Structure 1
Amino acid sequence: MKLVSYKYKGKPGSLRVGFMNGERIVDVQEAYRQHLLSRGEKDFAYNLKHIMPADPDSFFSAGNQVIASAGEVYKNAGELNLEEISLTREEVYLSTPIPNPSKIICVGKNYAEHAAEMKSDIPDYPVLFAKFANSLIGPEDSIMKSDATQKLDYEVELGLVIGKEASGVKREEALEYLAGYTIGNDISARDLQKRTPQWLQGKTLDKSTPVGPWVVTPDEVGDSGKLSIRSVVNGQERQAANTDQLIFDVPFLIEFISNLITLNPGDIILTGTPNGVGFAMDPPQFLTDGDTVTLEIDKIGRMENRVEAKGRP
């Protein structure tokens, strides 16, 4: 199941959660209402605020139990009359799936060839840093190029979304704590990142980090350690790798991080980028106004964003 956050184009209103049904978006809360009515459960059908939240942050914060309930409706969509609550892509704006996660934890230097191109040693432990919600944008938004940086760079990454509270998790149980997978572009202002030992200032500029276009539940992805991953800038392939090259794989990362920090439903982990970033090219190739960055991860999807200089008319 592919879960999206959407709202009607050109109309006031809040973001809502939907799932992709072919090429159409079906509102999750309304679909669940139809599901309950089909079973004669009218009392629950008209009191769904807590049972099946409509807004994305509440939905993902509710965790895997609510996502599993949405999955039941998705699997039985053919038995319900969902035509009136389904929309085309042209009718909606897609947001980043979780606009205000409590945590965005990123992993640096998690592919050996990327560590080498950045002239770094392979780390003994995961290199962790944070982003904040101010940086998040969705699949239809432009990457803002702040005038504070002249060295804006792209980084395609496999994103993890946590589905239930995780503290002290063991590796063999780690995947049980996942709500799903997404795509992230860990946009980095290299000049800001490199001017101090701490990377934060180069990693969380306003409206700089695309995450999306949806969250794909683990049953549709399967083995997250065997996914092709690539980035393309203005039609030129820049990064091409496979998640089997991760130094610290998904179960290890969940175990490691959860033994330091309690992870909550809706938290996002970006797992690191492969080699091929603009900073390491000869000469370096940084993003400029009007560039287009396309990211693809096998079994998850494709996301494309345009770069827009801050303050451009």
Structure 2
Amino acid sequence: MTEEEDQCNQQRNFRVEQEEPEPPQIKEEQEEPEPPQMKEEPGELCISQDEDQTDLNYPSDYMETGSDERCYICKECGKSFGNKSLFRIHTRIHAKDKRFFCKECNKSFSRIYHLKSHMRSHTGEKPFSCKECKKSFSLRSDLKRHMRTHTGEKPFSCKECKKSFCLRSGLKRHMRTHTGEKPFPCKECNKSFSRISHLKSHMRTHTGEKPFSCIECNKSFSRISHLNVHMRTHTGEMPFSCKECSKSFNQISNLKSHMRIHTGEKPFSCKECDACFRQLSNLQTHMRTHKTVSSQTM
């Protein structure tokens, strides 16, 4: 072998040694095994490796307590977790980047599971069925709430009067009867309401809309309750009965007026002469006598 060939072989061997990869460095975090990747199922959480990498960059405090216990604390809200994977899932609530986009309406989500749940609003898919009545729902949480109509469970209780509700929203609406809160104002007359449904009904007094029509005579009403009362003129139904004399009425207001015959209550007072009446219509008739007298004396 010539000296030139020997030098060439040495250069090739040097290149091979350089190209040989170094053994991977093992970080301290790798001592704690990562949770296995889970398949996406309805109502279950899904963690992908790509998502985990973004969560590692999220600001957090890490603490070690006695023995082997570990605590991961969220810097945004102070909530603590003993499990790293649960902590990473939680941090996505605060994450600003929402990387999963709906192709139908461009709404964005921080988790693929939330996107899949949202897509059912476009596809109409309802994979969660009630075993009692076969009603179906797009979300597991909706099915869970529905099941309370069968079980009678009412987990949300009012601290003021101990009344219970199957839905948190029902309790929230009820609490306004104690607080007097009326968060839904009318933009036309500034009248306020405790429920948005009451505001919608009220708005029809301004718009003149009457969406509820009688199928018997085509008369229309702004509220369905008014239609229901009207329908009794066709059916003859009188569901409100007096316990004193068994007389029946088609409206509860008529029953209340009738009950004053038995109780003697006269809640409508004349400001001119202190005369009292059981019905507002009788007071209004009486008030005309004062107007007549005043006009005659002039």
TM-score higher than 0.5 here? no
Q: Answer 1 or 2: which has greater strand percent.
A: 1
TM-score interval for Structure 1 and Structure 2 normalised by the shorter chain: under 0.3
Give the structure-2-normalised TM-score: 0.18
Q: Which has the higher contact order (CA 8 A, sep 6+)?
A: 1
Give the structure-1-normalised TM-score: 0.18
Q: Answer 1 or 2: which has greater helix percent.
A: 2
